[in-house]
Amino acid sequence: MADQLSTVFAALADPTRRDLVARLTVADATVGELAAPYDMTVQAVSKHLKVLEDAGLVTKGRRAQTRPVHLEAEVFDLMTAWIERYRRQAEERYQRLDVVLAELNESEIEKEAAS
């Protein structure tokens, strides 16, 4: 299978799945309950939940015939870690750029002073 970061990003690339995640932050819910609001079959929602489950974003319990779905929010950390790592790296680069520009400016000033 693909790496987890890829499956997590891919899982959240779909608006229906993001909405499912959003609703699961409020409370656990069964597949049927989760499917109700959408204009699609319960099978389609079941598939979406499987994608979220494969990404590790969600787990399913078992109570009677029903499968209560539970959000596993720790996986968010994986994405946050990736995003923040490269954001920080990009910011550091811009800071270095600022230094370079400042130095350029200084030597410009020196040239000005020398002329």
Could you say whether residue 19 binds a copy of itself (CB under 8 A)? no
Contact pick of 40, 73, 99, 109 for a copy of itself (by CB under 8 A):
73
Q: At what angle do helices 42-54 and 15-24 cross, to 10 degrees?
A: 80
Residue 14: CB minimum distance to a copy of itself, A? 7
Residue 90: CB minimum distance to DNA, A? 20
Q: Within its chain, how far is the Cα of 20 from the centroid?
A: 14
Contact pick of 36, 42, 90, 100 for a copy of itself (by CB under 8 A):
90
Segment 11 to 30, residues that bind DNA, using CB under 7 A:
13-14, 16, 30
Determine the Cα–Cα distance for residues 45 and 68; give it in Å rounded to an integer: 14
Q: Residue 78 binds which entry of a copy of itself, DNA, none, with Cβ cut-offs from 5 to 8 Å by kind?
A: none
**33-57 as b/e, with b when 16 or more CB fall inside 10 Å?**
ebbeeeeeeeeebeebbebbebbeb
